[in-house]
C-alpha cells in the first residue's frame, strides 16, 4: 500500500481494505466551507481510486457533531 495522503482537517485510517475518513474540525462543526475538509475528501478519494488497496470508504465525524440517530 502506498503512503496515506497528507490531510489537513481530517484523519484517515485503513484496515482490512476499509478506509475510515474522520472529519476533524469540531471547532466549526465540520463545516465544508472555510475549511480544508473538501480538499481532504477529494485527496482521499483520488488516493483510493489510484490503487486497489481499499474497497470501502466510510466518512464520519467526531461524535459531538454527528450524534447517533434516534431510535
DSSP letters, 9-67, are: SEEEEEETTEEEEEE--GGGTT-STTSSHHHHHHHHHHHHHT-SS-SEEEEEE-TTTSP
* Biggest distance spanned by C-alpha atoms of the chain: 40
Residue 8: what pLDDT? 95
- Predicted confidence at residue 70, as pLDDT, reads 65
Give the CA angle between residues 39, 54, 13 to the nearest 5°: 60
Q: If we measure between CA atoms, which residue out of 33, 34, 30, 40 comes closest to residue 7?
A: 40
pLDDT tens-digit series, residues 8-43: 999 999 999 999 999 988 888 888 888 899 999 999
Query: In the predicted model, is pLDDT for residue 66 greater than 60?
Result: no
pLDDT at 69: 63
Q: Which three cell numbers stand for residue 5?
A: 495522503
If pLDDT is split at 50, 70 and 90, which confidence band does 67 have?
low
Amino acid at each position: 500500500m502506498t503512503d496515506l495522503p497528507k490531510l489537513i482537517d481530517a484523519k484517515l485510517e485503513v484496515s482490512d481494505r476499509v478506509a475510515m475518513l474522520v472529519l476533524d474540525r469540531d471547532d466549526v462543526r465540520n463545516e465544508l466551507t472555510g475549511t480544508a475538509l473538501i480538499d481532504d475528501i477529494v485527496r482521499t478519494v483520488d488516493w483510493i481510486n489510484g490503487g486497489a488497496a481499499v474497497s470501502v470508504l466510510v466518512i464520519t465525524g467526531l461524535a459531538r457533531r454527528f450524534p447517533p440517530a434516534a431510535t
